[in-house]
Structure 1
Amino acid sequence: MPAQPDLPLAAPELLDSMLTRKFGPEVQNYFSGSPLNRLSFLRTDHAFLAAALTHHSTAFVAVDDLAPAARDAANLAYVSHADLSAVIGENPFAKTEAEMIEAYNSKVASPLILFLGINDKRHEGFEYKAYKGVPYFAVDITPKGSHEEAAKGVIETLKAKNLIFLQGRSAMTLNASDAAIFAQARALLDWNARNPFCSGCGQPTLSVHAGTKRVCPTADLAPGASARGPCATRGVVSNLSFPRTDPTVIMAVISHDGTKVLLGRQKRWPTDWYSTLAGFCEPAESVEEAVRREVWEESGVRVGRVVVHSSQPWPYPANLMIGAIGQAVKGGEEINLEHDPELEQAKWFDFETVRVALKTGTSGLDEAPGEGRKEGDLRLPGHTAIANQLLQAVVLGGFLGGETKI
């Protein structure tokens, strides 16, 4: 089984706090803890973006069909502008947003370039107004459109330098810092790819704000393009397209007497592999209500008090996992899978069984369990999953008082 990456470390300012002394340390989950200052208010400043894009210190994440270039399974490969210049072409930020919209041609597919932020802990020459650090961008080098051949050439050149592209969820082997940077890039690239048309009029849209907003231009210079009429997204009440994040609850539910935890499994999962229950929040529903509803619908168990534990960005494609701990009400622990047949099985496990599994039986779905596990023993998600952190909080007492780690 490949080594599981470390989790993000809490910043010093998070530790020296009266809130930390009262409630314990803040839990940092995998895919969070990015070292970058996103400087979101500078995404419309094209002078800043143009200078940052071509600076000698700037680091680029090259992504082919959502697979990032990497040096190995644990480390992204931060390449230079020169490595990607064949795809990037002329500096796209040399034009203002207004000029980009005025010159819009839906038949000319420019590669998507995302500004991710600045690492202001590293000072290597780039400076703009009060901001210093190393700029980070992500570039979609997927071979397509007018830059297909250039993209193929860039990919072959990067592979010739012994770089690899991490496919699917292989990126979950990345070190914590790189994983957080990739999560931001992946979510934005995926969102842009899924939203090429305007929700108001159905016409092709243009990516602006360095990849974090899409607009419906007033005209299209492409040959044969139909005339564009009025669109609600350009009205007084703006309905422009921004990246979507779907809130999802995931919860460790303990029995009323505080000795067992509820876990479930889906049919496609490996034998003996269980996890905490989870589901999407619905409109006009609080996190606490979503926890109680999802647990009852999937398992029949009725939950009373719910406490939020921590959260985890999950870029597959764009979820925010809101981790919670809930407790079953007295007399409400009977399992019934007949409401919503999503789970193959749900069971109560005593704390000691879960403690053993956390030590010897954690893994990804497609990985072998840890050393020391006995055949037939419980298997659980690895610690890059928030489910693992929730179970640690429950059975080791960290969130409820006592130790915090195995």
Structure 2
Amino acid sequence: MADIFFGTTTTLNRFSFLRSNPDFISKTVTDPESPARLVFYKQDGKNGIHPFLIEQDSQLGLLNLQVNSLPGSLKSIFHKWVEDNKSKSLEIRNQITMVFLGLDEDGLDEKFLFNDNSLSKSFKYPTGYKVQSYPKFKYDKFQGTPYFSVDVTHSRELQDYLLSYQDVKVENNMLSLLTMSKNESSLFAYSKMYMDWLMRNKFCPGCGSKVVPVDAGTRLFCHTPANECPVKSSSVSNVCFPRTDPVIIVGAISADGKKILLGNNKRHPVTTAGKRMFSCIAGFMEPGETIEESTLREIWEETGCSAREVRIASSQPWPFPANLMIGCFGVVHFDGISEIINTSLDNELSDCRWFDVEDVKTLINNGEVEDISLPMEGSIAYELIKSLANGKHQ
């Protein structure tokens, strides 16, 4: 389950300890031979932010361009950001908001992270765009291709340039985003979560002053003196870092392995094909809960069933806006009480059933079972259901 949508591990090494090194960040952008690449986003005015994508042959890909292939007037925007990042300037968001994502170690003989799943092997490029050949970027003993994420909402010049390519568009349809390759979806999830966090957090929750992104966009800095800001003066404060909200997603099965519990959420109406999607049970973890406690609670609150055993299976980033899906298996012992379904506790489900494992296998193999459909392949919900059906939950 490691090769999962939004969570595929690639050759991109985050090098998080280099984010706070302004000399390193400066060289990745301003070196005329840097192969640094950019992925782009734009806000929609409704507290949403969306990627620039390429559409070719009915396939969508994440637009990525090289800094040094941009026209000189556009490169100057990024050079200005470098200076603002170094000085923690209050003007750093005036034109672009930018985040250092890491170095792609693809093609290196020696990697610090031993992964051979090439980040860029499935990338598409706009018609008429020529990828330039640059040497691998080197800094001290670290090397690779630098990647940045950029919000161009406040730069009309950059927007016009990007949209001048006929096969480039801004995409806000989540279902369309699910058609990207897994490698691109991983880069999208990572970059989008940062872009969304920076868009939503512009003022200090302690004193109300403006905050600026520092450490190449990965931390927020308040210019107010520490003795005047209760957040800045606290011994431990996490509000200056991006947050990830943990969500439990549970594949529940009977103790004998013959039945799987699935529900149809009220948010998932009947499709145009007349199908209703039945999926796993899911919900946000609450403060002070363990993963196991949250799993048992969510099963009971949504379905009325009482599980006794929990096993953590896998996880999936979910960038809408910034969740981590923690996949678990829950075992329910049929005793005449524990398996009784009751959806009236929190009223989240419009329907909930115990399905025979053979019927679930039929659905996994693209067969028909009444008006039922399963989640998309590659999602953690689908992978959990598939594992249950194949008896791989022990």
Deviation at 1:322, TM superposition (A): 0.3
Aligned with 1:346 (options 346, 352, 357): 352
1:14-71 residue CA offsets vs partner (Å, 9 max, x unmatched): xxxxxxxxxxxx6332111133100000001111111112344111112223332233
2:90 aligns with 104
1:86-127 residue CA offsets vs partner (Å, 9 max, x unmatched): 383434223564x22xx4259x62411111111112353210
Trace 1:205-354 onto structure 2 (pairs within 5 A).
205-218=211-224, 230-235=228-233, 237-239=235-237, 240-269=239-268, 270=270, 271-331=275-335, 332-354=338-360
Contact 2:363 2:369 in 1 (8 A): no
- Whether 2:157 is the aligned partner of 1:150: answer yes
1:75 aligns with 61
Q: Which amino acid aligns with 2:42?
A: D
Alignment length (residue pairs):
345
1:93 aligns with 82
Distance 1:302 1:238 in 2: 38
Q: Which amino acid aligns with 1:232?
A: P
Q: 1:42 to 1:232 in 2, by over 3 A?
A: same
Q: Which amino acid aligns with 1:237?
A: S
2:10 aligns with 34
Unaligned runs of 5+ in 2: 44-48, 109-134
| Further displaced range: 267-276 or 112-121 | 267-276
Deviation at 1:156, TM superposition (A): 2.8
Trace 1:117-156 onto structure 2 (pairs within 5 A).
117-122=102-107, 124-142=135-153, 144=154, 147=155, 149-156=156-163
Identity of aligned residues (%): 32
Q: Which amino acid aligns with 1:93?
A: V
Q: 1:115 to 1:156 in 2, by over 3 A?
A: same
Q: Which amino acid aligns with 1:256?
A: A
Deviation at 1:261, TM superposition (A): 0.4
Deviation at 1:377, TM superposition (A): 4.0
Distance 1:89 1:247 in 2: 34
1:53 aligns with 29
Distance 1:398 1:333 in 2: 21
Structure in which a larger fraction of residues adopt strand: 2
Distance 1:258 1:236 in 2: 51
Q: 1:374 to 1:391 in 2, by over 3 A?
A: closer
- Whether 2:390 is the aligned partner of 1:355: answer no
RMSD: 2.2
**TM-score, normalised to structure 1's length?**
0.79
Contact 2:262 2:279 in 1 (8 A): yes
Distance 2:208 2:63 in 1: 37
Distance 2:258 2:279 in 1: 17
Distance 2:343 2:214 in 1: 47
Aligned with 1:203 (options 200, 206, 209): 209
Aligned with 1:166 (options 171, 177, 190): 171
Deviation at 1:382, TM superposition (A): 1.1
Q: Which amino acid aligns with 1:249?
A: I
Distance 2:173 2:299 in 1: 29
Report the 3-state secondary structure (helix = DSSP H, G, I; strand = E; otherwise coil) of the residue aligned with 1:48. Answer: helix
Deviation at 1:384, TM superposition (A): 2.5
Q: Which amino acid aligns with 1:167?
A: N
Distance 1:138 1:321 in 2: 23
Off by >4 Å, runs of 4+ in structure 1:
none
Distance 1:208 1:329 in 2: 52
